[in-house]
Amino acid sequence: MEKKIPRRLEGKVAIVTASTQGIGFGIIERLGLEGASVIVSSRKQANVEEAVEKLKSQGIDAYGIVCHVSNAQHRKNLVEKTVQKYGKIDIVVCNAAANPSTDPILSSKEVVLDKLWEINVKSSILLLQDVAPHLEKGSSVIFITSIAGFQPQGAMAMYGVTKTALLGLTKALAAEMGPDTRVNAVAPGFVPTHFASFITGNSEVREGIEEKTLLNRLGTTGDMAAAAAFLASEDASYITGETLVVAGGMPSRL
């Protein structure tokens, strides 16, 4: 039976970074289906156009802007064009992330450490500096962190540490941006997307992960999108500074 999607976001304007595929696309699609006008962005024009077409074919009001989150001019352009078109911003989902290397932390090159920090943490802060003056009362910021932020290890150790930083950033910005803006995070478990293909593409590894969950399955982009839409909606109006772990029961304590 198909789930009926509520329309909780009518009249809202939502920006989602890195939203042309994977979890980002799942989130922007869900926000659009709930009635929001959505701004699709990622690094490549062709991907942006393709995603916008997919969304429009479902009756979603979608607008695409190329944005490489580590490029200051791109970030400003993303915010300016959104405000020109819609006059305001209600929801920002910071989803862009990179994992350029699977080296152990003590073997990681400085350029890799810089890129991890820049894409996964710093660029979200700088984007929100540009966005903040345009946020409406009752607005919502959502960081996409990771189950790896709670126990960073293995091939995802340093990536995980940057996701741990987002758990702290969620708390810090909830204090700084309240009461007009709520700030929360979604921590996905393992979701088979292009980004996670090095984990979920190998059937043995995949089965090992499935066994670590209590629900005996990997997550879906829809699972993550439902959590983000809830946090963005008025249903979560008394929730701020929190991280919602959507990981099938995998352990999640710092």
Residues in the chain: 254
Is 28 contained in some domain?
A: yes
Given a contact cutoff of 8 angstroms between Cβ atoms, the answer to whether 246 and 219 are in contact is: yes
Number of compact structural domains in the chain: 1
10: which 2 tokens?
Answer: 């009518």
Is 56 contained in some domain?
A: yes
Closest C-alpha among 23, 42, 21 to residue 189? 23
Is 207 contained in some domain?
A: no
Is 173 contained in some domain?
A: yes
Is 69 contained in some domain?
A: yes
Query: What per-residue confidence (pLDDT) applies to 196?
Result: 72
Q: Looking at residue 91, which CATH number applies to its domain?
A: 3.40.50.720
Is 204 contained in some domain?
A: no
Laid out side by side, the sheet with 13-16 consists of 62-64, 37-40, 13-16, 89-94, 135-144, 181-188, 243-246
Is 206 contained in some domain?
A: no
Query: What per-residue confidence (pLDDT) applies to 71?
Result: 97
Query: What per-residue confidence (pLDDT) applies to 2?
Result: 63
pLDDT in tens, the chain (254 residues): 567 899 999 999 999 999 999 999 999 999 999 999 999 999 999 999 999 999 999 999 999 999 999 999 999 999 999 999 999 999 999 999 999 998 999 999 999 999 999 999 999 999 999 999 999 999 999 999 999 999 998 888 999 999 999 999 999 999 999 999 999 999 999 998 777 776 667 788 888 889 999 999 999 999 999 999 999 999 999 999 999 999 999 999 88
pTM of the model: 0.96
Query: What per-residue confidence (pLDDT) applies to 56?
Result: 98
117: which 2 tokens?
Answer: 């920090």
Given a contact cutoff of 8 angstroms between Cβ atoms, the answer to whether 126 and 118 are in contact is: no
Q: Between β-strands 243-246 and 181-188, what pairing exists: parallel, antiparallel or unpaired?
A: parallel
Is 114 contained in some domain?
A: yes
Range of the domain at 24: 13-192+220-245
Point out the residues that are catalytic. Answer: 159
CA distances from 32 to 1, 58, 73, 155, 229 (A): 21, 9, 26, 34, 10
